[in-house]
Every structure is written in structure tokens, then in C-alpha cells.
Amino acid sequence: MSQTDASKAAVRFEGGNPIFRVESLAASIKYYVRVLGFKLDWEDPGIGASVTRGRFALFLIEGDQGNPGGWVWIGVSDAEALCQEYRAAGAKIRHPPTNYSWAYEMQVEDLDGNVLRLGSEPKKDEPFGEWLDMRGDAWVMAVGGAWKRVERGWSGCDTCPRYSAYEPQRPRV
């Protein structure tokens, strides 16, 4: 083994933490803790904070490091139960739990438009559902297995009031 290979083997990656840019750190901490059930690990007021739920940790940075509207995928034990918890707490459910080949997944949006994709094991007894992209357009599985965007006006997602495929997305101001 060369010296370069040996030094690479000696440096172990310990984990990773996504970073979401937020407009108001205080408001975001309040939303993640009170609504989404995270725990505040540490905070540097006006700069950044770390919140965790289970083994997942997320950095929230005020006005810096990235762009609003980031996305992260998080594995959970039960997306359906989590959706019920979040609905009761008043979370912004962007897309309800839907079955896909990779997971039974839902989308939750924070105060700044960052999206948490939360998924548990796919349901073997349910068909695959529509996918909601970053623009709020719905996609469905077409014959042959390819995904196809559905034109606005489709009314298949009646539980998605903010970004439904049948209602044009309101511009952010």
C-alpha cells in the first residue's frame, strides 16, 4: 500500500449533516422543535443551530450557506404515523405519504421552503402513486415504467393545498 493509500485509509468519515439556509433562525428552531419534534442540540443566535430527531441531525444557518428550497431525504420507521403526528402539530405537508419503488414517502416543507422527504419501507400491497417535484408539478408512472409529468389541471392530489398540481404555485415574495 502506498503512503497516499495508507493516509486515506487512516481518515475515517464519521457522518454528515445537511445544512438548510433559513431566513429566521429563531422561527426555524421553533418550527423544527415544536412542530416537527426535533431537539435543539446547540444554537449560536443569529448564526446557526443544530437540531436532531433520532439519529438524524440538521444544521440551520441564518441567511447563509446554500439557497432556500433545499431538499433532504430521511429514512423513518413509519411515514404514515409520522404524517398523522405532523398533521396534528400543524406541519406543512407538501405531499402526503405515497408509495414508490424506493419508499413509502411524504414531503414536509419548513418555513423557508426547504423540503424534508421522509420515507419508510415501500408498501408491497399498494400501487405506486404520483410524485410531486420542486415546482409542484405531479408526475405519474406511465406504461413501460417511465415517469410522465401531468399537465396542470389534474386533480389527483386533493390533500396538497399549497402545491397541488391543479393549482398554480404562488410566487414567493
Q: Is 85 exposed, middle or buried (0-12, 13-18, 19+ CB in 10 A)?
A: middle
pTM exceeds 0.85 for this model: no
> Which residue in 105, 112, 89, 97 sits closest to 38, CA to CA?
89
Instruction: State which residues of the chain have pLDDT below 50.
Output: 154-173
The confidence score (pLDDT) of residue 3 equals 64
The confidence score (pLDDT) of residue 134 equals 87
Rounded CA separation 103/71 (Å): 16
- Which CATH number does the domain 17-129 belong to among 3.10.180.10, 3.10.20.70, 3.30.110.30, 3.40.190.10? 3.10.180.10
Indicate the pairing of strand 56-62 with strand 19-22.
Answer: parallel
The confidence score (pLDDT) of residue 105 equals 97
Domain spans of the chain?
Answer: 17-129, 130-168
The confidence score (pLDDT) of residue 144 equals 82
